[in-house]
Structure 1
C-alpha cells in the first residue's frame, strides 16, 4: 500500500513575477507503512513509536486545526522550544499547512535568550516542554505580543499541566483531522532561525516555502543521497537549521524514513548500539561525536545497514576521516552549508571525486565563487570570501533576509553575491578549500557561538571590567570559546581558580550553557584599534599561532 503525505507549500507562483509550476512543491511519497515507517522514534526508556506518511498527514492536520482555533493565522509567528519529541515534527508540518511562521529554538536557551527571541520575532504563541516553560515564565511580563502558551510534557507520564499554560495533548483530542490547507506563495515566509553574529545578538534568518520546501531537494539528492528505501539518523538539536535540513525536508522530499532517538545526553556506546540494532542507512552528526566514537573499538560493532556517514557543523579533519574509515570501512563525507542556505558544496555525489583537503564542488544550480570584499570574483588559488551568486538569478535555497535588520542584510550581499562569512580558495579544477571564518564567530562541536553574547554575559558579573572572546583550538571540539578578561580592582586579589569556575557557571546560568568559555585568561590590557574597538582578530591569531608552534 502506498502511504503519502502531500503538503501544499505553494501552488500560486511568486508575487515577484517568477512563476513557478502550478503544482505542489513539497510532496512526500513512498511505500511506507508501520513495518517500514516514515518516522521512527525511540527514547531512553524503551518507548518506540512509528508513523507512516498518512499518520503524519493526519497528525499535522489536527495540529493545524488546533493552532487556527487558538486564533493563529497566516503570517503569525510561533516559537517552538522542544526536545526531540514527535510533536516537533507534527507542528512543523502544521505550520506549513496554515502559513504560520515557525521559529524552532533549542531547549538550551536561558531566560534572556528566550526573551530576546520573543521580542524580536513578535511571536504570538509559544510551544514548550516542561523545563523550558519554567524559563519562559520568568520573562513573560516583558513580552506583550505573546497570547498563547502551550505545554507538551517531555515524558510519557507527564501531565502537561502548568498554571497559565494550555495542555497541548488535551486540546489536540478535540481537533478535526479534515483541515483544509491555507494557500501560500513560494516567497511567503515559512521559517525563522536565529543565528549568532559577531557584533550583536542573534539575527533572524528568514526562509520561505520555496527556499526550504524546494531548496532541500538539492540536500536530499546531492548531499545525503537518500531514497525511499533509506533510514536516516540526523542527531542535530531541534533548534538548529540542520534538524530541518536532514530530519525533515531533505529525507521526506525523497520518501526516506527519519529515525530519532530522544535522549538527554550524548552517549557514544548507545549511539553505536542504535547503529547495530536498527536499519539506519545514513548517519549525520557533528565531528565531535565521531571523535568520541573512534576512541572505542569500532571493529567490535557490526552496523546493521549503515552505508553513508556525514559530518556537519564544522570541518572534518583528515585524521578523523582516516580513523573512521579504519574502524568502519566507511567514508566520512562532509557537506557545506549554513543557516542562510541549503546545501552548497560537497563531495558525496558521483559527479565529484574526493580530493584531499577539499570541501568539494557545488551541486547543480549553485554558482559558488571566491570573491573579494566587494563581490568581485578572484582568480583560482587566491584566498577570499566563499560566496554564492544571487544575481541575476537567486538560487532557490538562499534565505531572503535577516528579518528587520537591513544593515546586516546589506552587509552580506555584495555585488552579485551573498558572502557566507567564510574564507576559502578554489583551485583550477573548481574544487573548494575551506580556510576559516572571515569574522569572529566560533564553531565549537557543531555549535555556532557569537562572541558578543558571551562577552555581554561576562560583563554582567561584578568581577569583569572588560572581556574579549575568541576561538581557541581544541583537539576534541575543533575549537572552543576562550575569554580574555580584565578584572575590576576589587577582584584582582581573589583566588583566580575559584573565579574561573564562578565565571563559567555564571555564563551557563545567563545564556545557553554551550556558549560558556571553556578557557579563561586574565590580562591587564586588550589590543584595541585607534577608535577603541577590541581587536579580537589579534587575540585569535595568537591563539592559533601558539597552537601551531606547539604542534610542530
Structure 2
C-alpha cells in the first residue's frame, strides 16, 4: 500500500514539477472544455455554471487586456473580489501571463490592503465595485474594476496566443499569513505546490468524480484558495462558490439545494451549525474541517446531526495540508478523540523542540522555502541543519503515529509549573449550554506565584445572564471534566472574540487586554 501511495505522489510531481510547466494548462486547458469548473451561487441560491471552455476563452482575452496595462511575467497582481465569476477568470488571466496572484480578503480595510500591496510590491489591483472605495489614492497602485465596461473590452480583445511557461519553481501566488501571532508574512507559492494540493484533494478530502464538492472557505485565504480554487482546478473537480456572508441557515440551504455530498469548512462553521440541532434533508458523504482544532462536542454532534463524522485536518499557509484524518479508503482509519490524524503521503512529520515539524529531506511534497524578504523569520522556522521545518505549533504524537495539536508555541500557558494547551480548556468550556464561543489565554499572575494564570474570554448565548454565577459554573466544569490545575481563575464575558478574517482566534490581542 505504501508503495502505491508513493507512486501516486511521484506521478503528481512528474505532472506539476516540470521545467516547462504552464499554470494555465495544468489548471484549465488540459481539461474537457464542456466540463463544469465552478458553480457560482448567489445569496438567493440562484446559480450559474462556468465550463472550462468558457474559463479558458474569457481568461485568454482578459490576459490580453492585462498585458496591455503592462502586466508581464513575475509581476504581482492583487485581486480584491468576492466569490464571483470574474474572480477565477482574473486568476487564470494572471497565470497565463506568468504573473503572481496576491489575494486580498474582501473584509480587509485600506490599512490591511496597503500592508499586503507594499509587502508584495504589487503595481495593479483588480477589484469589484463594492470594494473600489478601499483603494483610495494613498494606496498608490493602478486599479482595474470589473463591470460592464471591462466586459466589453474583454469581449472585443483577441485571446492571448500562448500562456507563459514558469516551471515548477516559478511563483504563482503570494499569500500572506493570517497574523494570529503578529504581523502577516509573505509566502510565495510555486507551481509545484499544485502536486500537494491535488494530493490532499484525493487523499485527505476524497473528492471523487461523482461528488458535489463545496469548500466553504473564502479564497482570500489559504484553505479557500488552495482547496476551493487551485485544488479543484488541478484535479478537474467542480466546486461551489457562494457569494454571500456566512449564516448557518444559508449553509444548510446551500447543501440541500445543490445536493452537496463532500463539504469542507472551518471549525467555526461546524460550531455554528451545531447550535441548530439535527439537520434533516442532507446526504453528506464526507465532511472535513481545518483551521483550528475541532472541539469534541462538535465531533459528537456531527455524527447524528449530519449523518457523517467530521474529520479534522491540519496545515498552514506555508505548507498546505500535511496531517489529516484522511477520508480516502487507502488511508482512512477510525478517529481518535482530539487527534488531527497522520501525515499525508509525501510528508514525514515529528515533534522537534516541542513543535510539530516536517522532515524536509523526506517530504517531497513540501514546497515552502521561506518568507518573502524575511531571512531572520525564515531561519526561525528551520532547524540549524535545515532538516526540519518547525510549525511553531506545539503538539504530541502517540505510539501509533497519530498527531495531536496543543497550541501555537507562544499560546502555551505556563501555570504553576504546568504546560497547558488552551485548546484543551476551551474544549471543556464550550460544552456549557450557555457558552457559544470561548478563547483561553495565559496572563501574568498578579500575585507573582503561578507564573501565569488561565484567563477565559467567553461569549455567552443570547439571553443568558453573564455574571459571577455563570463564571463559577465554568470554573467548576473545568475542574470536574479536565483538571483542577487548569481551571480559569479569571472569566471575562465578551460580545465577540477577535479573529482573523479566516476565523482563527487572535489570542495575542486577548493577552494585550
- TM-score, normalised on structure 2? 0.75
Aligned twin of 1:209: 191
Cα deviation, residue 410, structure 1: 0.8
- Asked if the contact 1:236–1:243 (Cα under 8 Å) also holds between the matched residues in 2, the reply is yes
Cα separation, 2, equivalents of 1:72 and 1:139: 21
Aligned: 1:246 with 2:173: no
SS at match of 1:116: helix
Q: Secondary structure at the match of 2:281?
A: coil
Q: Is the 8 A contact 1:9 1:185 kept in 2?
A: no
Contact in 2 for aligned 1:259/1:280 (Cα 8 Å): no
3-state DSSP of counterpart to 2:342: coil
Conservation of the 8 A alpha-carbon contact between 2:28 and 2:55: no
Paired residues, what number?
A: 430
1:187 corresponds, among 169, 177, 192, to: 169
Summarize the alignment of residues 59-458 of structure 1 with structure 2, pairs less than 5 Å apart. Answer: 59-137=58-136, 139-140=138-139, 143=140, 146=141, 148-152=142-146, 167-197=149-179, 200-211=182-193, 213-263=194-244, 265-299=245-279, 301-303=280-282, 305-348=283-326, 349-350=328-329, 351-353=331-333, 354-372=335-353, 384-391=354-361, 395-414=364-383, 415=385, 416-440=387-411
Counterparts in 2 of 1:359 and 1:53: CA distance versus 1, 3 Å: same
Name the CA distance, whole Å, in 1 between partners of 2:192 and 2:128. Answer: 30
Q: 1:184: Cα distance to partner?
A: 0.9
Q: CA deviation at 1:326?
A: 1.1
Stretches of structure 2 that go unaligned for 5 or more consecutive residues are: 1-13, 413-421, 459-470, 480-513
SS at 1:361 equivalent: strand
Deviations 1:336-360 (A, max 9, x none): 1110012201112332412222111
Q: 1:135 & 1:24 partners in 2: Cα distance?
A: 34
Unaligned runs of 5+ in 1: 1-7, 15-19, 154-158, 160-166, 373-383, 442-469, 485-522, 528-536
- For the aligned residue pairs, the C-alpha RMSD in angstroms reads 3.4
CA distance, structure 1, for counterparts of residue 201 and residue 103 of structure 2? 21
Give how far 1:53 is off.
1.6
Q: Distance in 2 between matches of 1:28 and 1:439?
A: 45
Quick check: 2:303–2:309 contact (8 Å CA) kept in 1?
Answer: yes
Q: 2-side partners of 1:410 and 1:247: how far apart?
A: 31
Would the aligned equivalents of 2:348 and 2:363 in 1 still touch at CA under 8 Å? no
**Structure 1 position 483, deviation (Å):** 12
1:214 touches 1:397 (CA, 8 Å); kept in 2?
no
Cα offset, 1:177, TM superposition: 2.6
CA distance in 2, matches of 1:42, 1:289: 18
Change beyond 3 A, Cα 1:333–1:200: closer
Give me the whole-angstrom Cα distance separating, in 2, the residues matched to 1:538 and 1:98: 55
Q: 1:195 and 1:110, CA in 2 relative to 1: closer, same or farther beyond 3 A?
A: same
Provide the rounded CA distance (Å) in 2 between the counterparts of 1:477 and 1:63. Answer: 45
Using the TM superposition, give the Cα deviation of residue 526 of structure 1 relative to its aligned residue in structure 2, in angstroms: 12
Q: Cα deviation per residue 1:186-220 (whole Å; 9 max; x = unaligned)?
A: 11111111114477521111111112x22212211
State the distance in 1 between where 2:143 and 2:255 align.
Answer: 37
Give CA-to-partner distance per residue, 1:133-155, whole Å, 9 cap, x none: 21111523xx4xx3x211125xx
Structure 2 CA distance, aligned partners of 1:132 and 1:357?
Answer: 40
CA shift for structure 1 position 540: 7.4
Task: Work out whether residues 77 and 100 of structure 1, in 8 Å CA contact, stay in contact via their aligned partners in 2.
Answer: yes
Shift of 1:226: 1.0
For residues 433 and 169 of structure 1, the distance between their equivalents in structure 2, rounded to whole angstroms, comes to 49
C-alpha change, 1:50 and 1:402, in structure 2 (3 Å) is same
- Identify the residue that residue 163 of structure 1 maps to in structure 2: none
CA distance in 2 between counterparts of 1:194 and 1:24 reads 26
> What is the alpha-carbon distance in structure 2 between the residues aligned to residue 249 and residue 540 of structure 1?
43
Which of residues 16, 19, 30 in structure 2 aligns to 1:13?
A: 19
Give the 3 Å change call, closer, same or farther, for CA 46–289 of structure 1 in structure 2: closer
Match of 1:551 in 2: 478
* Contact 2:77/2:100 (8 A) holds in 1: yes
Residue 370 of structure 1 and its aligned partner are, at CA, apart by 0.7
- The CA deviation at 1:257 is 1.1
1:543 deviates by 4.1
Asked whether the equivalents of residues 16 and 195 of structure 2 are also in contact (C-alpha less than 8 Å), the reply is no
Cross-structure match for 2:55: 56
Q: What whole-Å deviation, never above 9, does each CA across 1:502-544 have from its counterpart, x for those lacking one? A: xxxxxxxxxxxxxxxxxxxxx99899xxxxxxxxx96674449
Question: Structure 1 residue 313: deviation in Å?
Answer: 1.1
How far is the alpha carbon of 1:86 from its aligned partner? 1.3
Alpha-carbon deviations, 1:148-171, whole Å to 9, x = none?
Answer: 211125xxxxx6xxxxxxx53343
TM-score normalized with structure 1 length: 0.70
Say if 1:524 and 1:217 are closer, same or farther in 2 by CA, change over 3 A: closer
Using the TM superposition, give the Cα deviation of residue 328 of structure 1 relative to its aligned residue in structure 2, in angstroms. Answer: 2.2
Q: Is the 8 A contact 1:188 1:208 kept in 2?
A: yes
Alpha-carbon displacement from aligned partner over 1:47-73 (angstroms, at most 9, x marks no partner): 421112222222221222221121100
Q: Is the 8 A contact 1:41 1:48 kept in 2?
A: yes
